[in-house]
Amino acid sequence: MNQNGDITMHLDHALSPRGASIPLEVSDPVFTLDDVSVFYGDYEAIRNVTLPIGKNEITAFIGPSGCGKSTLLRSFNRMNDLILGSHLKGVVAYHGTDIYGPDVDPIEVRRKVGMVFQKPNVFPKSIYENVAYGPKVNGAKGNLDDVVEECLTRAALWNEVKDDLKKSAYALSGGQQQRLVIARCIAVKPEVILMDEPCASLDPIATAKIEDLMVELANDYTIVIVTHNMQQAARVSDRTAFFTAELDDNEVRHGRLVEFGRTRELFSSPGDTRTEDYISGRFG
């Protein structure tokens, strides 16, 4: 057990790796998951998750492949709706409203909850049009130059592309493309940004830039990130949820939430041996 862990254990407020003061319990949740299970047909990808997501915090989901963490992430903006045969049990509440409730339009949910994907999925359009697309489909009229500049600046990309706005987004490097996707995402003015392994296809330098950007964006946005990179979770996140894949009594595999807590505590003094094994590299 390292010293850091001992010091921060159970303090009401403790500094997270990025230097934010994080309360022991989530005090101002944006999302509250209550007993959430997600199914693809008969297959239960993840079972009985109860978890809060704190406002302006960075929450990391870690765990071995197939533990359902990406599936869970995609239930925050109803992207799983697009997969045939998927359904959800339990309650995913956004500021107290069940986003799977009868009066909720998934389109509206996705305007509030943006998403960055594993592979930078820029549109086959110009850099400018990539950023302007979100405001346009959401009804923005007139000149979007200011919005484009602001979002590219916030995504730390403006200086690199300001003279090439009309160029195809495919001309950018992988890391630049991923920052463009982030700029595109914040152009819709979401409250939450979901990131599904955003650095999985990037080199370490591009990864570092995205991580810096995440820390910067956490001042204004609530971020949930799925990552396979435990160092990344340890570097940027305020809280970490550790998931694992288990066999139940009927020998059926499903994802489970093992442990959820402030990142420093979870990494320095995990409460569950499965967490400890995973973060120390003994499996996964």
Partner 1 sequence: MQNQLAGRGTLLRDRVFMWLLFISLAIGVLTLAILLIYVTVKGWPRLDLRLFTNMPSVRDAQNAGAQSAITGTIWVISFTALIALPTGVLAALHLEEFARPDSRFQRFIEINIQNLAAVPSIVYGILGLAVFARALALGQSVITASLTLALLVLPVIIISTREALRAVPRNIRDGSLALGATEWQTAYRQTLPAAIPGIATGTILALSRAIGEAAPLLLLGAVSFITFNPDGVLSGYTTLPIQIFNWTKESREEFQVLAAATIVVLLLLLLAMNFVAIWIRNRTQKRW
CA gap 273, 133 in Å, rounded = 46
Q: Is 280 in the site for partner 1 (CB under 8 A)?
A: no
Q: How far is the CB of 187 from partner 1 (least distance, A)?
A: 8
CA gap 104, 71 in Å, rounded = 20
Considering only 9, 56, 66, 123, the residue that binds partner 1 (CB under 8 A) is 123
- Region near partner 1 per CB under 8 A, out of 92-100, 103-111, 197-205, 258-266: 103-111
Q: Looking at residues 216 to 275 of the shown chain, list those that interact with partner 1 (rule: CB under 8 A).
A: none
DSSP-assigned letters across all residues of 189-257: --SEEEEESTTTTS-HHHHHHHHHHHHHHTTTSEEEEE-S-HHHHHHH-SEEEEEEEEE-TTS-EEEEE
Considering only 66, 133, 216, 229, the residue that binds partner 1 (CB under 8 A) is 133
Q: How far is CA 223 from CA 49, 82, 113, 219, 236, in A?
A: 18, 22, 10, 10, 10
Q: SS3 of 123, please? A: coil
Q: SS3 of 71, please? A: helix
Considering only 34, 40, 64, 111, the residue that binds partner 1 (CB under 8 A) is 111
- Region near partner 1 per CB under 8 A, out of 2-10, 182-190, 213-221, 274-282: 182-190
- Region near partner 1 per CB under 8 A, out of 64-72, 114-122, 198-206, 220-228: 114-122
Per rule CB under 8 A, count of chain residues that contact partner 1: 26
Q: How far is the CB of 121 from partner 1 (least distance, A)?
A: 4
**Contact present, 46 and 37 (Cβ < 8 Å):** yes
Considering only 6, 170, 173, 220, the residue that binds partner 1 (CB under 8 A) is 170
Q: At what angle do helices 127-137 and 174-186 cross, to 10 degrees?
A: 30
User: What angle is formed at CA 36 by the lines to CA 282 and CA 238, rounded to 5 degrees?
Assistant: 55
Q: SS3 of 109, please? A: helix
Considering only 117, 200, 253, 284, the residue that binds partner 1 (CB under 8 A) is 117
How far from chain centre, in Å, is Cα 175? 17
Which letter, b or e, does each residue of 87-111 get, where b requires 16 or more Cβ atoms within 10 Å of its Cβ?
Answer: ebebbbbbeeeebbeeeeeeeebbb
- Region near partner 1 per CB under 8 A, out of 17-25, 134-142, 247-255, 256-264: 134-142
Residue (93 or 180) nearer to partner 1, CB:
180
CA gap 5, 8 in Å, rounded = 5
Q: Is 188 in the site for partner 1 (CB under 8 A)?
A: yes
Residue (1 or 84) nearer to partner 1, CB:
84
Q: Looking at residues 57 to 86 of the shown chain, list those that interact with partner 1 (rule: CB under 8 A).
A: 77, 79, 82, 84
Q: Is 132 in the site for partner 1 (CB under 8 A)?
A: no
Q: Which residues bind partner 1 (CB under 8 A)?
A: 77, 79, 82, 84, 107-108, 110-111, 114-115, 117, 119, 121-124, 133-134, 137-138, 168, 170, 181, 184-185, 188
